[in-house]
Chain A
Amino acid sequence: MASVAKSYRPAAKPYRRTWHGSRDALVLLAFVLVPFALEMFWTFWPALNSLYISLTQWDGISPPTFIGLDNYARMWSDATFLLALRNTVLWLVLFGGLSVLGGFGLALLLDKPRPGVGIYRAIFFLPVVFSMVVTALVWRMIYQPEGVVNGLLSAVGLADQARIWLGDSDTVLYALIVPALWRQIGYIMVLFLAGLKTVDPLLHEAARTDGANAFQRFRHITLPQLRPITTVVLAVTVIDALRSFDIVWALTKGGPYHSSELLSTYQFSTGVLGSQLGYGSALAVVIFILTVGTIIVYLVRSLGEEESA
């Protein structure tokens, strides 16, 4: 504002000047630094604290004692940790894999304009707006001993297969994955539908003229064109799978006898509800390490976009 005339020169960089205008600069500083500081204080500062607490033994009341890496060493002889780790990996593979496949399948089916496509999309998307707790309560009724699943099994003559789905350590983890999938698939479908919109129809047209069949066009045109959205979906899925907590906590709290324990639920019972803050923090660090690979993919990707923009 001090030199309005300069703004008319195409070579001028008007934004640099506002940085020097003193009152404007203060406003700008507050604009950026208040949100930045607020978030850093409640995220990175606690995260650094967690790293330190994970190296201590602490009951949350008396001062923590530093014990080095003992908490991490303890994990390998902790049967519950190993079970939770196994379940978490299984959860990642099954929940992650099936939600991507299911969401992709639905997106392919609902991509082309047909009568009713909008309604179908809305139906499959609807569970996404419910909380995991609402989802959990819905499915708790289905899994009840006198509930729908067992009722259906008896109706088709498989009454001997009926069981207490959430109380049986052989079936509980799979019984938890189904409602989680019910809620996630619609979300993944929407992401892939957006990806499919970016596929250029002219490419399909050209390939058809050259005699490519539907499968060849899918394999060599659709799939390669979807690569960017697929990267995003995979990253979202891995992060969501490793963060999964609500559905398990709401339905079983990791039971019976830890058989549906995930790292996140085990961390919550030991560190937040229990009094082993050191060990709980070490478990949180393990979850973080499992996730961090994905986050790096995320950041590298958005950095690349930033530079090409």
Chain B
Amino acid sequence: MTAVQSRNPRLRTWLFHGGMPVLAVLWLIPLALVVLTSLRTFDDLAASGLASVPDGLTAEPYRQALASGQWRSILNSLLITVPVVLVTLVLASMAAYGLARHRIPFRRTMLLLMLAGNLLPAQLLLIPVLKLTEQFGLFDSLMGMIVVQTAVGLGFYTFVLHGFMRGIPQELTHAARIDGATTFGVYLRIVLPLTKPALAALGSLCFTWTFNDLVWSITLLRSEDKLPVTPAILGMQGEFVSSWNVIAAATVIAAIPTVIVFLRFQRYFISGLLIGSSR
């Protein structure tokens, strides 16, 4: 950004194309290392260490990771995450529709309270929520995880959808009203279809955040067979102390679902982060 550079656009281009690849490679090295380690044999790693050239590749570590019960934890993660995403989108879009398109008393107060609830640090909620789940018989259950993660996150999604739904032209909902549509009919047939891009964006964000959660699952779950994949791979470190290849394979497996969601919804994902930031 100096005057010299701007007078020499060609020099600047050269600096860019010389420097950026180096930085990008540095950024990718940690990932390359994990993928590579996950494909090596235990003997190879034990003999020459992590920072060495592999003497052959194998898929055996993946088989070992999955055989040690990682299937179960991935399934648990999905059993928690998919319902959380669906219920969150339904409830948040209902609340946002009510608050954005109707003159409900205290609508602004309610919206801001919901957003404020979402911004409370998790640490402030952990102990009382733990006690509440015990009272309701939800402690150490996937259902408890679903209820808590849905309820705690609702404010953000409602707030973003509220902003989005305010932008839908009044004429569209007026016209449906005149044709005799009910409140529910307008929501289902007019507002929801028009909100699809925002729902896709928030859905992919919600999937990633819920799937990646650590603090709620180590607070609310105790049984090993109920643990989602994030805390489960932490536990694997104890089981496979120096089997770096198995831990690396488990790490890669744990990252795959969010990477798939990211690649599939890439466009929405980034726009989701952006609407998230303009709250």
Contact = CB atoms under 8 A, between A and B. Distances in A.
Interface in B75-118: 91-92, 94-95, 97-99, 101-104, 107-108, 110, 112-118
Interface string A16-56: 10110101100110011011101111111111011001000
Contacts of A271: 126-127
A24 B123 CA distance: 39
B121 interface: yes
B190 interface: no
Contact of B128 (A45, A191, A309): A45
Interface in B247-279: 247-248, 251, 254-255, 258-259, 261-262, 269-270, 273-274, 277-279
A246 B104 contact: no
Interface string A112-146: 00101001100111111111111001111110101
A264 B24 CA distance: 32
Query: Which of B50, B152, B159 is most buried by chain A, counting CB atoms within 10 A of its CB?
Result: B50
A218 B1 contact: yes
Contacts of A147: 49-51
Interface residues of A, number: 107
Given A38-B154, A138-B30, A229 B248 contact: no
Given A190-B274, A285-B124, A123 B118 contact: no
Contacts of B279: 298, 302
B30 A139 contact: yes
B274 A138 contact: no
Nearest to B184: A27
B3 A1 contact: no
A120 B29 CA distance: 14
A43 B120 contact: yes
A127 to B, nearest CB: 8
A292 B129 CA distance: 20
Interface stretch (A73-81, A89-97, A163-171, A237-245): A237-245
Nearest to A129: B262
Interface residues of B, number: 105
Given A39-B117, A42-B125, A138-B251, A19 B104 contact: yes
Interface in B120-173: 120-132, 147-148, 150-152, 154-155, 158-159, 166
Nearest to B236: A137
A309 B166 contact: yes
B124 A190 contact: no
A213 B115 CA distance: 43
Contacts of A40: 113-114, 117
A208 B34 CA distance: 48
Contact of B125 (A32, A47, A109): A47
Given A31-B97, A43-B118, A46-B132, A284 B123 contact: yes
A74 B121 CA distance: 22
A133 B132 contact: no
B244 interface: yes
A291 interface: yes
A84 interface: no
B165 to A, nearest CB: 12
Interface stretch (B56-64, B194-202, B208-216): B208-216
Nearest to B214: A246
Contact of A129 (B3, B6, B259, B278): B259
A123 B49 CA distance: 27
Given A35-B158, A130-B258, A268-B126, A137 B233 contact: yes
B41 interface: no
Q: Which 9 A-B pairs have the closest CB atoms?
A: A151-B51, A131-B212, A43-B117, A46-B128, A42-B151, A49-B128, A32-B98, A35-B95, A214-B6
7 contacts: A24-B184, A34-B91, A42-B148, A43-B125, A141-B50, A182-B30, A271-B127
Given A42-B148, A46-B124, 14 more contacts: A24-B184, A35-B158, A38-B151, A39-B118, A40-B114, A43-B117, A124-B24, A126-B31, A133-B214, A133-B231, A144-B50, A148-B51, A245-B122, A284-B123
